[in-house]
Structure 1
């Protein structure tokens, strides 16, 4: 039902903020703090980052999240997903702080852990833990290995 793996992603500070907002909204949906309409509205504001979650549309994201909540996840699995999403969210915040503290970088490449679920509406994944830096891009100069 779920699989875990790591994948490299390259993000800017703007991308990271959108991913963080999207993951936060989906977390709130899974924990019952948002309904379908509120999730849709929240994700519409950051729809350009949905490919990180394997999604191409806001409607697809809402549908996949609803599929998880409505029966794919048992209570214990839901607790696990919430714990993993919290770890991922914390890491996203740390990466945002890194960007803010190091304005010479405009992109970072990170190896990020994901947990992926298959639903009737398609696949969806969440950042599920601590990412590691692969390399950083210095504005106007190129990539620097970390």
Structure 2
């Protein structure tokens, strides 16, 4: 019951780092490396970027992740989700490097691919692959198409 699509998001370097931390924690939960309490603790510091995942609270994030594992995903689907999250994670890291290497930019707009799941607790999505730069914001100057 997954839906795949692309959507533009505008993010700063700090946002990307929080998105990466959130995806790390959710990935670790899905692979069995974190339990509910550990996931909750890991996500508490990055809740300002939850809208990227269609979430609003830490409890909602934990509940949606638990919903994915409680029968929503078969073993083969779980392997696919893990692969897609890894692909997204890799690209998020590339976008972080780009902003670190280009400090003239304070924001980037990226069209990312997402995979979205509906659970009994709500919807959750993950960045699932390589995003395309749409434009970059130059500090105190405006947007530049890339």
TM (norm. structure 2) is 1.00
* Inter-partner Cα distance in structure 2 for 1:70 and 1:118: 13
**In the alignment, is residue 141 of structure 1 matched against residue 141 of structure 2?**
yes
1:118: Cα distance to partner?
A: 0.2
CA–CA separation in structure 2 for the residues paired with 1:35 and 1:131: 30
Aligned to 1:18: 18
2:32 paired residue number: 32
Task: Give the alignment's Cα RMSD to 1 decimal.
Answer: 0.3
Q: Deviations over 1:13-52 (max 9, x none)?
A: 0000000000010000000000000000000010111110
Task: Give distance in 2, aligned partners of 1:111 and 1:28.
Answer: 25
Displacement of 1:70 after TM fit?
1.3
Distance 1:103 1:82 in 2: 32
After TM superposition, the runs of 4+ consecutive aligned structure 1 residues lying more than 2 A away are none
What SS does the aligned partner of 1:45 have?
helix
Q: Give the total of aligned pairs.
A: 146
State the TM-score, normalizing by the size of structure 1.
1.00
- Specify the SS of the correspondent of 2:51: helix
Distance 2:15 2:29 in 1: 21
Partner of residue 119, structure 2? 119
Pairwise CA distance, 1:131: 0.2
CA shift at 1:65, angstroms?
Answer: 0.1
Q: Does 1:44 align with 2:39?
A: no
